[in-house]
Structure 1
Amino acid sequence: MPAVRDLRTLLMLSGFRRLLAVRLLSQFSDGVFQVALATYVVFSPEKQASPAAIASAMAVLLLPYSLVGPFAGVLLDRWSRRQILCYGSLLRAALAATTAALMAAPLAPPLAGSVPDGLFLLSALCVTAVNRFVLAGLSASLPRVVDTEGQLVLGNSLTPTAGTLAATAGAGVGLLAGAVGLAGPRGTSADAATMLAAAFGYVCAGLAALRIAHAALGPDPGPSPPRLLATAAGTVSGLLAGLRHLAARPVAARALASMAALRFCYGALTVMMLMLCRYAWTGSGDDGGALTLLGLAVGISAAGFFTAALITPWAVSRLGRLGWIALCSTAAALLVPLLVLPFRKETVLAAAFLVGLTTQGAKIATDTVVQSAVADDYRGRVFALYDMLFNVAFVTAAAAAALVLPPDGRSTTLALAVTALYALAAAAVFHVKHRAPASRPAPVSRETSS
């Protein structure tokens, strides 16, 4: 088969293999790190998790991707990308080890109870901020390790998928280690050990980067670039220009606003699910069981994401892009209260599948709406804004949920508020669909990232 032959040719390129190895090690460690952070904040026996603590952890994991991301390219076009991969990985290892030490410090008699949560979260925030540069560096380096445009397309298809699978495997290892640790007597020390495992993985990623030649990944020497502050200011100016361009295209702007509303709902329901798993559905002290239940919920939601990737092209071909977004919002508005409000484990897990399917289905269609409506020379800036909006909506939802949710996670108020937001998103998209000029549906991206 041609695809298999092309893949074999790509994997024969030593530069590509080495860059892929860095990505796999890096993202595997990311998965371990994220689970170690989550289990410490939510499931440690020594800590009484609250919605506010969960919201803080989500901000640590997501905000750097939004706030640092647009500026990462400024440095990637100035500094050796191979050195960024190497030193960035080693810096993450040091920061993750520091985070592990802060996890374990309250157990040590000289420091018992003296480490503030803010210091721990700041250390974890630095890990994810550096991580954004490393991931951007991996993407920017890919064209330097392939020979043809066809190989670049295949590489762009293979490497994010392989990285996601590696992160999922790392998360699985972290969940297993966390469940075993919570079932035993080690408590927070198990979370610290898992965090140290992530630090070791980052060290391996940094060492793997050293196998790549210093100048192989670019950037090429050239005229002196503009001053750093001027370039950063230009990035801000570019984002504002992208925002003005988007404002002049109401169909794309409304689709993005509706997607932000669905992402907000997804974030609020995620915090509710965490609290239900931690307190409402498992017995007191059964933190290992709670973590296992959360893993099941994450897996069911991921199945919804995968199903959305399969059925969205078919649905868009019949309903149109805006019609499919509206149907996803309507289905969530009708079914989420029926499934969530009993607060039964079985029905809420079914809601996790539904919310995963509708959120990702709407996102795939929204991606296509934006790609079609936005001029090519503005597309990168608009998608940078899209990325910021996507993550900020999730973090804002977590913060809002922290204000509403009771300790056990059962909140009729939050469930009804989410239902109303789904209904408003559906109404807004229906309004745009009937006012927008008719057009043939564009080919739909099969992107499956959350």
Structure 2
Amino acid sequence: MNDSILQQILDLAAQRTDAAEVYFVSSQDTPIEFENNRLKSLQTKAVQGVALRVIREGRLGFASSTDLTRLEDLVDAAVQTSEIGSPVEYEFAANFHAWDGSGQSSFQPPATSELVEVGEFLIQEVHRYNPDVLVGVNFHVRSGTVKLATHQDVYAERSTQTMSASVSGNLVRGEDFLEAYSYDVARDGIPSYDRILNELLQKFQRAEHGATIQSGSYPVLFLPRAVASTIGGLFDTVLSGQAVVQKASPLADKVGEKLFDDRLTIFEDPSLGVSACKFDDEGTPTHKKAYIEAGTVQGFYWDRRWAARAGKQSTGNGFRGGLSRPAPDMVNLCMAPGSTSIDRLIASMDEGLIVDQVLGAGQSNQLAGEFSVNLDLGYKVEKGQIVGRVKNTMVAGSIFEAFQHLVDLGDQPEWVGGGAYLPPILFEKLGVAARGE
């Protein structure tokens, strides 16, 4: 896209508004998908578009379009929405110039034919373990560019190129249905095929035998992916400035209070990982920050809108999904590791549960910091050994009580997708509910 289009939009908006911000996004995704052991689809999808926010007579207007030939219509739509828009308590970014990206990267993603070969190899390796497994393999090669400009001397641009690989397996034995998956993503590089294959095979091996557990209170070990979807997801919600302003966060008035075990430190480091970026989608610089340090609540993450409502400054956490308006979001959620290996954590359990995959994000009463998840894949531990897979089982608790009964965090954090860097966590006791077969 020619940068002059951003300037044209700003110039058109300047004639009719008091302030304007233009956000352009372009992305391309090439998926290579195998389903039920067979190659299914190869079709590149590309999208681009522009979103415009304006301030006019103290009110916010917003419009977006994927048609870059009708710029006057875009400005018209934004001006019209400002007539009924909400009052604005904040200003758009000013005096900021940045370039951030992999445009200079020498990384060339593998050719489609090479990825097809890798997919066939992964299927073959799973079938060496068990030919009855229906295997799915997905690769996505994605590239994207974001450009942002405002009427107050802002021009920021970033480019990213990522590649993801996932492998899944379905195994049906009579009435028993087992689905396991593994996933890795890399920026300017190739994900680890060995890692996802070995992780998937380990899941099937651990699930070869069935096991049962009675309802009650047990030690529960969450593996990193389950930490992300259960505990990480809850912290992601309660640390949002929006949840604080809406009084939906139990941490809202707890800054400076020690609410958790002093081994718990949760932070964000926008210089790390696949999603690393130097500025957010509003043109605010990002920076590393601790939200909970040694168990003490330090603060929250903010975009411009919700920060203004709370009398705070944006923390560089205004991000968009596609061409939507910005909202508070983290670049990544990181948790400082503990000091115990995962093998020692498992060996320390006399009778307990390992949570590997959960169904959905689980039910939770976020005002109370509570979570409740159904196990998609979980294992029983007896006398420090994994004895088999449990089914029809649910784990529930609250982040406040759980961290009062923390055994330890594992010493090896893992990236879960691009947005979380988390260790396994063993709690001494959580509620386990097992439904009868």
TM-score under structure 1 normalisation? 0.28
Structure showing the higher strand proportion among its residues? 2
TM-score under structure 2 normalisation? 0.29
User: Which structure: larger Rg?
Assistant: 2
